[in-house]
Amino acid sequence: MGQGPILVLAALVLLLFGILLLLRFGIFERRTEAADGADAATPAERAANRPAGELVLKLDALGLDARQLWVLAPDRLLFADGQQVKLLTPAGRVVAEAELSLPEVDVTLVGDVALVTGPRAYRYAVWDRSGERYQGLSEEPIVGYSLSTQGRIALLLDKADSIGLLRVLDHDGGHLFDWTARDVLQSGHVIQSVFDSSDRYLDVLLLNTSASEAQALVSRFSLADQDLGERLLRFEPQGAGVLVWAGRAPDGGLLCASRTELLLERENQLQPIWQQPAFDAFVASGDWVHAVARSSVGGRRSYYRVALDGRATEGIAVPEQAKDLAAAGSRAIMTDGSALLEFSRDGDSFRRHEVYSEIVSSRLLADGSAYVMTGDELRRLELD
């Protein structure tokens, strides 16, 4: 056989080998996408490039900025641009409005109650689905805040001694009590405050820096009339240098997290129930804790569903840029650019709901509906 036919045969063999590699790689990629829940759109949606969910509101029709709009309840939207606050229906009708001068706006939502204030602001207001409940003015800049389901608020005011003054206000704006960390710490500061779900008490996360190593503390204060402001408990979790998040277990007990572990209140102590090398965030809802963590330092970022006895599902890899973890019961969501990630109720997979426009904000409600705000639309998705 001459050299020419041999070269042709070799070229054909190489071509066939290359085609097989391409097919194998393509099949692998498709399987990986399916396993990660990336291919959730129906064929019709993919063909039409149609965004998921139903359209609730076209923002440009009302001249609204998505960065200044929040979903308070299924039938109520809250608009706040610093100069004024408005309560709107999904059709854009104004239900209530008030003036509120803020250089920068931040809105905290708990149920259908909202706290409107801002970093280092002096003004604050609490709204519900009927309109403004109350607003007020502090004498020092506000550097931290939390909201209860009943509309009570805790404001951390920046005092000259750098410790900070915690001011607790009732659901009608009336003053309940003031407290400063100087009562228990000679050096340190407040990290976060969190109300009990039934408004029985307020837990305050602290960091004591006077010791050789920074130590986390939690002080619990009574919200009952007869013991108003009285310190009920003091938690000193061992080994937790800093507590960075707090939430509530289904029974109302305290859940806290450091950068590496999740701690649960048991017998008046905070005890670790789950550890990970790098812990990003958690949300407690229903009988579960929904968490984002890394199984190794520098490893992949994953979603976990953790029971209160420490049992956890196998981690589901999520995109590095995914954010805004939220949960309601066994449902959980995150946002990833122009897609909403919906985690399955058994915690072993997720689906992507593509809206084809960058998501500005999202909210998951107890009825299983998720609202997604893009730059020009508000859309509603019914989750499985």
pLDDT tens per residue across span 37-94: 444 555 555 545 789 999 999 998 888 999 999 999 999 999 999 899 999 999 889 9
pTM: 0.84
pLDDT at 175 over 60: yes
**Mean pLDDT of the region 3-30:** 48
Least confident of 16-25, 247-256, 267-276, 331-340: 16-25
What is the pLDDT, as a whole number, of residue 337?
A: 96
Interval 267-300: pLDDT, tens: 889 999 999 999 898 998 878 899 999 988 888 9
Of the pLDDT bands very low, low, confident and very high (cuts 50, 70, 90), residue 8 is very low
Interval 196-222: pLDDT, tens: 988 899 999 988 776 667 788 899 999
CA distance 169 to 230: 15
Of the pLDDT bands very low, low, confident and very high (cuts 50, 70, 90), residue 31 is very low
Other CB atoms within a 10 A radius of the CB of residue 201 amount to 20
